Structure 1
């Protein structure tokens, strides 16, 4: 029943079909192992989503190439609104999935999940500054890719 939504959550962070399936299966295994801890407060779907999200975060943390890297924050620039308005959802998802793994993870956690840099850093084991850099880098890469699509009306 929850498979499509949970797989969409996992796919925001993991682009490989096999790895996404493995992480989702691990998340469901955790949910089944902890089913007695569900206390019927809030939605069951939200409870499962939280467990799946933690499975994703654990996978990212274990496989992060950048866990000990120190980086500086760079200034963001805005993408022109006309470009973004002409993109379809599927195109945006493809562009985000093409980001480097660590950058994609931070970008999704910040933008899609609404997490703070402090929360992201604690969850995947990086500094707040590194989290901010990955968000900035993701925005920069996406801006460049969107501008290259030349979506101007002719």
Structure 2
């Protein structure tokens, strides 16, 4: 079934098209949810809630940009709303294996596997982890993050800076990267971000 056929079927509430959409996109969207979730059950709840929104809002998709990108934005906002609703920004987290992650910065050393980075990101406090995910992986600006999380833009920037430092410390401690002899921005991001 083509993406256009799936979209048209979902607009008509066709259960076969809805099932196809879910099967096609749920593995990638579950990976997105894992990066934000406190545990596997929360990730699955976020995924289900996100797909309910996708199906109920599918009529708003205007074929501007990728359909998957539209679904991903709904998932990210669903995850943020879930965290806000459950006030989980101050809780510590455990490691859950995620399927994949695409880091926006291209200079991450090739020896560092994406899965290892995701596991280490999951060790960050949830506030740091959320800002890092939104900025470095999802590509949102600090202004957009501040609006989403109801925080100041400067808070987003400082949480991101602290998250990067904490993540680097974790990666060094787990021997995934070596401690740089001089201050190196291993994520390849300019300091002013």
Same fold by TM-score, threshold 0.5 exceeded?
yes
Higher relative contact order (CA 8 A, sep 6+): 1
Provide the residue aligned with 2:155 in structure 1.
Answer: 130
Contact 2:83 2:89 in 1 (8 A): no
Deviations 1:93-135 (A, max 9, x none): 1000111111100001110011111110100111112111211
Contact 2:89 2:126 in 1 (8 A): no
> For residues 153 and 171 of structure 2, what CA distance do their matches in structure 1 show?
27
Q: Unpaired runs of 5+ in structure 2?
A: 1-23, 91-106, 179-193
> For residues 14 and 124 of structure 1, what CA distance do their matches in structure 2 show?
15
Equivalent residues in 2 for 1:59-70, closer than 5 Å: 59-64=82-87
Deviations 1:45-71 (A, max 9, x none): 22211211211121233334669xxxx
Provide the residue aligned with 2:62 in structure 1.
Answer: 39
- Correspondence 1:55 to 2:78: yes
Please, what TM-score do these two structures have when normalized by structure 1? 0.79
> For residues 31 and 61 of structure 2, what CA distance do their matches in structure 1 show?
23
RMSD of aligned residue pairs (Cα, Å): 2.2
Provide the residue aligned with 2:34 in structure 1.
Answer: 11
> For residues 47 and 120 of structure 2, what CA distance do their matches in structure 1 show?
22
Equivalent residues in 2 for 1:72-151, closer than 5 Å: 84-150=109-175
Provide the residue aligned with 2:7 in structure 1.
Answer: none
Q: Unpaired runs of 5+ in structure 1?
A: 68-80
> For residues 26 and 135 of structure 1, what CA distance do their matches in structure 2 show?
27
Runs of 4+ residues over 6 Å off in structure 1: none
The number of residues matched between the two structures is: 138
Please, what TM-score do these two structures have when normalized by structure 2? 0.64
> For residues 107 and 27 of structure 1, what CA distance do their matches in structure 2 show?
21
